[in-house]
Chains A and B, each alone.
Chain A
Amino acid sequence: MEESKIISGCKVVIIGGSAGSLNALMQILPELPELKGFAIVIVVHRKSTDDQTLEELIALKSSVSVKPVEDKVPLLPGFVYVAPSNYHLLFEKNETLSLDISEKINYSRPSIDVSFESAAEIYGESLVGILLSGSNTDGTYGLKTIQAAGGTIVVQNPLAADMPFMPHNAILNTQPDFVLDNNEILKFISTINT
């Protein structure tokens, strides 16, 4: 990693993950300092039955506040948002989130590709996309759209991932700006807009 490259002008950091990503999130989120002028949006595949638990876990363990996602909630800097299960999460021009119950994509709802692409459309250069552990290909196409729109893309080092397939697939098919271990991802997010 080029230690010197600090991201500025960032409005949203969107993090996608599937199997095994919870571990990484739990290493990163609790350690985060106050988010300076940007929001974090988390899109992970999970069972609809444990819908609330991830929010609760994050709220419990970390100092950044979690805002529950309902349709058309405003996306405010300084907060963490977690995509609810069984809906796709989309971004609107007026900086609100909207939900959509259309067909699964990559066997997933929420699909990481769908949210990444939608966020890229709205946030362009002021978007950072991070892809974590998982065992399918969701997220790779989304990272491409983020990069094409001028955003920054980060992939978890497959060696650091519980399930390396998803980050590995992304590295093979995109040119990530950074490939980072969990503690490096933490450092990276902590320096955004500083």
Chain B
Amino acid sequence: MIEDIELETLINEVYEYYGFDFGSYSRASLKRRVNRVMHLDGFTHFHEFLSRVRYDPEYYKRMVDEITVNVTEMFRDPSFYAVVRNEILPLLGTKPFIRLWHAGCSTGEEVYSMAIMLKEAGLLHKSLIYATDINSTVLETAKKGIFPLRMMKEYSENYRDAGGQEDFSNYYIANYGIAKFNEELAEKMVFSQHNLVSDTSFNEFDMILCRNVLIYFDNDLQKRVINLFDESLAVLGFLALGTKETIKYSVTPNKYKQLDKEKIWRKVK
């Protein structure tokens, strides 16, 4: 493992050279990720790694892509999606127009899951789904809607457990180990780079989903990001976080009301 002081040096240099602030990221995970990328790329000395990051912007980009954790799934936590399908979409459906934001969307599996549910609820045509991440490489994948074919068995089970009744394989075309999702699903998606650390609110939404992103941030940054969501959420809109994340320490308690046991809160005032 690299030393703590080395990690802090890297954080400072990255900020100085590239303006990206990892200073509020959880150190335990960040340290593992930096170690991992150094190891993957064959660096034995931290100072060699550091000077490469400094002087080679291409390599800096690779490092950022590798230290962000991009693991994601379709219909991960089926009970969460069941609540969205059964309780939230009917409420959103009464609006003339529905705006959603997936913050930290990674390769887009969640975004396509949401589009499938909106389509089945007959709401996709009047929805707009913004999907953002800092990692531009994952956004490229997300735009294409191409996911590994070997995952489809698990995803179709998740889909079913989340209340899906269609034949899941109708949503994609299988080809040489990949599953290409129907382009119709992507028609209402807008992908763009957005940094939760430094970028501001850019619209007002009826639902914001940011799952398993806050776990990589320290308490202060979590609070700031939840404030950003609060500013970006319409009254009576919904905020959804990962199963082990909470808004409890970040907003005034009676402003939000939690739904069931899921990590979904409705902004009540």
Contacts and interface: CB of A to CB of B under 8 A. Distances in A.
Interface in B198-240: 212, 214-216, 218-219, 222
A92 B1 contact: no
Interface stretch (A100-108, A136-144, A155-163, A164-172): A100-108
B29 A84 contact: no
Contacts of A70: 244-246
Nearest to B76: A86
Interface string B8-48: 00000000000000000011110111000000000000000
A121 B1 contact: yes
Given A99-B244, A121-B28, 12 more contacts: A70-B245, A71-B242, A71-B245, A71-B246, A72-B26, A72-B219, A90-B29, A90-B32, A92-B26, A92-B28, A100-B28, A102-B33
A41 B214 CA distance: 22
Interface in A65-121: 69-72, 84, 87, 90-93, 98-103, 114, 117-118, 121
A52 to B, nearest CB: 10
B63 to A, nearest CB: 15
Interface of A: 69-72, 84, 87, 90-93, 98-103, 114, 117-118, 121-122
A101 B215 contact: yes
A121 B35 CA distance: 14
In the complex, the 5 A-B pairs of residues with the closest C-beta atoms, listed nearest first? A90-B28, A102-B69, A71-B215, A100-B29, A99-B215
Contact of B27 (A92, A99, A103): A92
B71 interface: yes
A84 B244 contact: yes
A102 B244 contact: no
Contacts of B29: 90, 98, 100, 102
